[in-house]
Amino acid sequence: MRVVNVEIKARCADPERVRAALHQRQARFAGADHQVDTYFHVPEGRLKLRQGNIENALIYYRRPNQAGPKQSDVLLYGVERGAELRALLAAALGVLVTVDKQREIYYAGNVKCHIDDVHSLGTFVEIEAAGGEHADRSVLLRQCRELMEAFGVGEAELVAESYSDLLLARS
């Protein structure tokens, strides 16, 4: 499935404020998920296998490293737990890095929000406004900006890099 996301990632000093804003918007809480994302070596873009209790998928995406709302072009393939697939991809491509996180998942219409506690990195909030292949990017961008304001996310908290990049920079 091909998806267009406009998304932000930011450091989150006040997860309670984010939860309260989501509750006020009657966002649906989908659950808490322990997720392990294994990133593999690929010539361009990013390829990761997500293994969790709620979400399991092979995900390929391209996204610029920039602070603030940015567009991601994503290909998703749903998988079962994925242990065998992880072993196969690790043997074929090699593991780049593994991201281990506790994630709270919320949905407000077409917008998915996460509060992430990432091992070795801290707490973050993500906003992903998703549309189909031909989505109106300006609508998705507006949705991200509105939630940034509601969550109290300022420009200084925005993070340009993926969790994988942040972990690689630490090593």
How large a percentage of the chain has pLDDT more than 70? 98
Q: Which residues pair with 111 in a beta bridge?
A: 108, 129
Cβ neighbourhood burial of 94 (10 Å; 0-12, 13-18, 19+):
exposed
β-bridge partners, 104: 32, 115
CATH of the domain at 156: 2.40.320.10
User: Could you tell me what percent of the chain has a pLDDT over 90?
Assistant: 77
For residue 1, what pLDDT is reported? Answer: 62
Q: Cite the beta strand spans of the chain per DSSP E.
A: 2-11, 28-40, 46-51, 57-62, 70-78, 95-108, 111-118, 122-131
Q: Which two tokens stand for residue 10?
A: 């930011």
Q: How many domains does the chain have?
A: 1
Q: How many CA atoms does the CB half-sphere of 161 hold within 13 Å?
A: 9
Range of weakest confidence among 4-8, 130-134, 162-166: 130-134
What pLDDT score does 95 carry? 98
Domain span holding position 64: 2-170
- Average pLDDT over all residues of the chain: 92
CA atoms within 13 A on the CB side of 53: 10
Give residue-wise pLDDT tens across range 53-106.
Answer: 999 999 999 887 877 777 778 888 999 877 899 999 999 999 999 999 999 999
Q: Is the pLDDT of residue 27 over 80?
A: yes
Q: How far apart are the first and last CA of the chain?
A: 34
